[in-house]
Amino acid sequence: MPRAPLPFAFLDGDFIAAADARVSAFDRGFLFGDGVYEVIPVYGGRAFHADHHLARLAHSLEGIELDSPWDDDWWQSRINELISRNGSGDQSLYLQVTRGAEHGRDHRFPADVEPTVFMFSTATPARDAAVDRNGLKAITAEDFRWARCDLKTISLLANVLLRQQAHAAGADEVILHRGGHLTEASVSNAYIVSGGRVVTPPLSAELLPGITRIVTLELCASLGIPVAERALTVDELDAADEVWITSSTREIGPIVSIDGKPVGAGKPGPLYAKLRAAFDDLIASWRSGSAPTV
C-alpha cells in the first residue's frame, strides 16, 4: 500500500500542507518528464548521507542542463526544516526539480521559466523481519531503458513497466541485463557474491550511481570483505552464491530466487547477514547522532 505523505511539503519556496500541494498542468515534469529527483532516507531526524545525494542531484541537474540557483546549504536547510516539521524520526524524503511550467508545449527549453521544486516525506515503515528469514524474489529482463541511466530523472516509464513485470510474476524486483551483461535492477543496484567476493557492475551511464551502493562498498571494506567492480554476465548471476540489491528505501535486500530458480542455498546467505548487521549498526549510530553528519 502506498504510504500517505507526512503533513508538510515544500513547494516553490514555501512549506505548505502536503494535501494542498498543486502544480500547473503545464509543468514540463508533467508534459515531458523533464526533471530529476532524489530519495533520501532519514534516520532519527538526520538525512542519511545528504552530501552524497546532493552531489548526485547536481550531477543529474547538470546532465539535463538545468541551471540550478541553489547551493548545498540552501538544500540542506530546506531538507532539515521539512524533516523537523514532519516530526523528525525515520522518514523517506522525496525531492524533485522540474524545468518548470510554461504556457504551451515546446520541446525546446523555455527562457525565463522558474524550475519547480517539490519535496515531501513519508514515515518509514518498520523493517520486515521476514525478508531476513525468507529473502526476496527476482526475475531477469532485458534492460530497454535509455542510454543515460546515471541521471536520476523523473522519466521512469521503463522502470515502471519493468517493476510491474516483476510484480505480475510474483517477484519483488527485476534484475536487468543489456546484451548479456548486468546493469542494475529496476529500483536498486545489484550485486553477486561468488567465492567470498562481492561483485557489482562498475559505474557507467548504464546504471544509477546508488548512494546505498557507496555505503555498501564502504561497509564491505570495513568488514574486510573483498569487492570487485567489474562487468558481470547473466551466467555469473545464475551461478552466484548470493545475490543482493541495495537502495535508499530497501537498504540491502537478499535475493533468494531468480526466474524461479534458487540462488545458492535458496535463503539469505552468510555475507548478507554480516552486511545487514553492519548496516543496522550504522543506522543505529546515525539515529543516535554518533555517526558523522554532513
- Cβ-based nearer residue to ligand PDD, 86 or 183: 183
CA distance 49 to 66: 23
- Cβ-based nearer residue to ligand PDD, 155 or 159: 159
CA distance 149 to 205: 5
Q: Which of 172, 184, 206, 242 binds ligand PDD (CB under 6 A)?
A: 184
91 belongs to the binding site for ligand PDD (CB under 6 A): no
Amino acid (1-letter code) at residue 58 = A
117 belongs to the binding site for ligand PDD (CB under 6 A): no
Active site residue 267: no
CA distance 107 to 85: 37
- Cβ-based nearer residue to ligand PDD, 24 or 165: 165
Q: Which of 60, 98, 121, 188 binds ligand PDD (CB under 6 A)?
A: 188
208 belongs to the binding site for ligand PDD (CB under 6 A): yes
Indicate which residue of 152, 261, 267, 274 is catalytic.
152
The kind and range of the H/E element at 54 are: helix 50-63
Q: Which of 47, 131, 211, 282 binds ligand PDD (CB under 6 A)?
A: 211
Residues 266 and 256: beta-carbon distance below 8 Å? yes
Q: Which residue has 540489491 as its cell numbers?
A: 245
> Contact positions toward ligand PDD, by CB under 6 A?
39, 159, 184, 187-189, 208, 210-213, 246-249
